[in-house]
A and B are shown apart, each in its own frame.
Chain A
Amino acid sequence: AQTVTQSQPEMSVQEAETVTLSCTYDTSESNYYLFWYKQPPSRQMILVIRQEAYKQQNATENRFSVNFQKAAKSFSLKISDSQLGDTAMYFCAFMKTSGTYKYIFGTGTRLKVLA
């Protein structure tokens, strides 16, 4: 069975600084997808960034980038130039490419960006 672990329940960062959120996972699958989702306070959860396991290049979306280490089963999210609007709960998620379309979510990291 797959598991996803986020070891940082809460983090804070000063506005304009860089922060990295950690995620590790466990799977015996060779191909899969990894995702970071953002849930702002009282707002809907949205996709931030995704990574396909067979792609070696780390995904980047504007100020958001990942450090994907397949051998170490690590998938961290880096947020550069943090903004107040980045304050949210961040969830790491895993989905295998075979079988059903189920996600396995981590327990989340609550990030607060300080002015």
Chain B
Amino acid sequence: DVKVTQSSRYLVKRTGEKVFLECVQDMDHENMFWYRQDPGLGLRLIYFSYDVKMKEKGDIPEGYSVSREKKERFSLILESASTNQTSMYLCASSSKDWVGYNEQFFGPGTRLTVL
């Protein structure tokens, strides 16, 4: 069964803290994505990776960085958390194989609150 897992469902951090959000997929997918989901704004792409150690900025990369040292793991890092980064964070993965029509498989999400 296809699975994308995220390290925490809920997280509360203080302003200025360094925050790590972890995502692991067991489908041997090449592509991995980090989104943030906010009411009225839908899903916005923060960063994505199409291979180990490769990364590309999405639409809202400011204040975030990512790491992909292994194919199955994609980490999102908030270097210095701020209150405007309070949001739901979704991780997703997809195969680079076009036969799969690039369906994205999502994790359960991490609801991050920054106080």
**A58-112 at interface with B (beta carbon < 8 Å):** 91, 95, 97, 100-103, 105-108
Interface residues on B, range: 20 to 34
Tell me whether chain A's interface is mostly helix, strand or loop, or mixed.
Answer: loop
A95 to B106, CA, bound (A): 16
A46 to B106, Cβ gap below 8 A? yes
Residues of B within 8 A of A108 (CB): 42
B104 to A103, Cβ gap below 8 A? yes
A105 to B42, Cβ gap below 8 A? yes
B112, chain A: closest CB distance, angstroms = 16
A106 to B103, CA, bound (A): 16
**Interchain Cβ contacts within 8 Å, total number:** 51
B91, chain A: closest CB distance, angstroms = 10
Judge whether B96 is part of the interface by a CB distance below 8 angstroms. Answer: yes
Residues of A within 8 A of B31 (CB): 101
A18 to B51, CA, bound (A): 42
Q: For residue A108, which residue of chain B has the nearest CB?
A: B42
Judge whether B108 is part of the interface by a CB distance below 8 angstroms. Answer: yes
B41 touches which of A44, A50, A102, A107 (Cβ 8 Å): A107
A100 to B48, Cβ gap below 8 A? yes
A45 to B108, CA, bound (A): 8
Judge whether B56 is part of the interface by a CB distance below 8 angstroms. Answer: yes
A91 to B41, CA, bound (A): 11
Residues of B near any A CB (own CB < 8 A): 4, 31, 33, 35, 40-45, 48, 50, 56, 58, 90, 92, 94, 96, 98, 101-104, 106-109
Residues of A near any B CB (own CB < 8 A): 6, 9, 33, 35, 37, 43-47, 50, 52, 91, 95, 97, 100-103, 105-108
